Amino acid sequence: MRHAKVIRTLLLSFLLPVIVDLASANEINRLILVPAMKLVGSSYVMGATGPDKFDCSGFVTYLYKPYLENLPRVSRDMARLGRTVQRQSLLPGDLVFFATGSSAGQVTHVAVYLGQGSLIHAISNGPNRGVAITSLGSRYWNNHYYTSRRVLDDRFYRETGGSQSETAAAQVVERDYAKGAYRGNLNQGEPEGEGLIHLSNGDSYRGDFHGGFPDGKGEYLWKNGDRYQGAFQAGTFHGEGTILFHDGSTLSALWNRGRIVSITRSIGEGSAARIRPGTLCKSYYQVEDSPWDSFNGVVEGDFALWRQNDKDQFEKWKRENQPGR
C-alpha cells in the first residue's frame, strides 16, 4: 500500500503543474500576455520554441515554461495539464485546445486565450501563418474547438486590494483583440468599466464595458460618421438609444440585440425616415468577416512533432530493453 501511494504521488506530480506564487491577474498580463503580444508576426517553424520562431506548443512553452516546470512539450499532452474550464468561463491566460488535423478528436493545436473572445497563437497554415490574434468565435476555430484548461494557479486570477472598481481602475492598459485595439480598464484581464476600442473595420466605441464587451452606456461611431448613443449589451445596441445620422436626421428607438423593437422619435427626411421596426443595425461585434469564417482546410498544428516524439520514445524504449542489456 505504501508503495502504491508513492507511485500515485509521483504520477500526480507529473500531471499537475509546478506553480510559481504570483499575486494577481496583473501578473498574467505582465508575464504572459504582454510578452505574447510582442511576438505577433513571428514565424511558424515546426519544432521551434523561440525566441522569434515557434510552433503552436513551442509558443506556449516559451511563455509558460518559466512558471510551469512540468509543462509538456506538445499540445496533446498539455491538454491534460491543470483543470478543465468551460468555454463561457475562460479567463485571459487559459489554454484553448483544438482538433484541427486530419484525425477528428485528436488535439493538434493550442492557443492562449487573450480576452474578448480572442486567441493568440502560432498557426502552421491557413489565412494567418505564424503568431497571430484571431477570434475564437470564427467558424473554423469554433467548429474545431476541443477543450480549455486552466494551468495557472488561482492566485494568478485573484485581484488584490481595494474594491473591484478600484482594482479595475488601476489596470488601464492598451491591448489588441481580434476585433480591434482597446485602451481602458481591465478586471481579471477582461475589458471592464470605462474604455475605448478602435475596431478593425474603422468603427469605434467609447463607453462602458462589462465581461469584455461594450455593455452599459456608450457611443458607437461608424466610419461613415453615423453614431449611436445609448444602451449596450454584450456588444450590441440593446435598450434605449438614438442614432444621429451624418445627413442630419436622427432616430430614437428601443433596441433588442441590435434589432429595432419600436421607434420613439424620428426627425428629418434622410436615413432615419427609411428605417422601420424590425430593422437590424449591427455593431462590428455582430459582423463575421474573419478569413477563418470561410477557411475549410486542415491546420496540422504540432501533430507531426508529437508523432516524431512518440516514435523517438518507442525507439529509446526498445534500445533500453533489448535482450542482454
Catalytic residue numbers?
Answer: 56, 109, 121
CA–CA dist 257, 153 (Å, integer): 36
Closest CA to 263 of 248, 278, 284: 278
Q: What 3-state DSSP class applies to 140?
A: helix
How far is CA 101 from its chain centroid?
A: 21
* DSSP E strands, 80-172: 83-84, 95-98, 109-115, 118-123, 130-135, 145-150
CA-wise closest residue to 74 among 290, 313, 249: 313
- How many separate helices (H) and strands (E) can be counted in the chain? 8, 17
d(CA 37, CA 56): 14
Contact present, 29 and 186 (Cβ < 8 Å): yes
Q: Name residue, grid cell 475589458.
A: 191
SS3 call for 257: coil
First to last CA, the chain: 31
Distance of CA 1 to the CA centre of its chain: 45
Q: How crowded is residue 184: how many other Cβ atoms within 10 Å of its Cβ? A: 22
Which three cell numbers, joined as nine digits, stand for 259? 434589432
Q: What is the DSSP string of 173-234?
A: EEEE-SSEEEEEEEETTEEEEEEEEEETTS-EEEEEEETTEEEEEEEEE-TTS-EEEEEEET
